[in-house]
Amino acid sequence: MSSSPAAAGLLTAIRSKTAKAGVIGLGYVGLPLAMSMARGGFTVTGFDIDPAKIEAIEARESYIEAVPSAILKGEVEAGRFAATCDFAGLAACDVIAICVPTPLTRHRDPDLSYVEKTCRQIAATLRPGQLIVLESTTWPGTTEEVMKPILEETGLVAGTDFFLGFSPEREDPGNRDFETSTIPKVVAGDGADAQELMVAFYGAVVKTVVPVSTTATAEAVKLTENIFRAVNIALVNELKLVYEAMGIDVWEVIEAAKTKPFGYMPFYPGPGLGGHCIPIDPFYLTWKSREFDRPTRFIELAGEVNTAMPHYVVDRVAEALDRRAGKALSRSRVLVMGLAYKKNVPDIRESPSLRLLELLNERGADVAYHDPFIAEVPKTREYADLMGMKSVAFDEETVRGFDLALVSTDHDDVDYAALAAWVPLVVDTRNVFARRGLAVENVVKA
Catalytically active residues, by annotation: 277
Alpha carbon of 444 to those of 241, 255, 330, 420, 425: distances in Å? 14, 19, 19, 11, 8
Beta carbons of 53 and 26 less than 8 angstroms apart: yes
Work out the burial of residue 244: count CB atoms within 10 Å of its CB; fewer than 13 is exposed, 13-18 middle, 19 or more buried.
middle
| Alpha-carbon 232 to chain mean position | 18
C-alpha distance across the termini of the chain, in Å: 59
> DSSP H helical segments within 379-425, as ranges?
396-399, 416-422
| CA distance to 49, 56, 72, 84, per residue, from 53 (Å) | 9, 5, 12, 9
- The answer to whether the beta carbons of residues 270 and 233 sit under 8 Å apart is yes
Distance CA 96, CA 21 (A): 6
Q: How many CB atoms lie within 10 A of CB 126?
A: 22
Cα–Cα distance between 276 and 159 in angstroms, integer?
A: 31
Q: Which letter, b or e, does each residue of 10-36 get, where b requires 16 or more Cβ atoms within 10 Å of its Cβ? A: bbebbeeeebbbbbbbbbbbbbbbbbb
C-alpha span between 356 and 369 (Å, rounded): 10
CA nearest to 308, candidates 394, 412, 251, 238: 238
Rounded to 5°, the CA angle 47-52-57 comes to 65
CA atoms within 13 A on the CB side of 393: 6
- The strand pairing partners of 165, in sequence order, are 133, 189
Alpha carbon distance 350, 380 (integer Å): 9
Q: Give the number of other Cβ atoms within 10 Å of residue 174's Cβ.
A: 16
Per the CB < 8 A criterion, the answer to whether 200 and 14 are in contact is yes
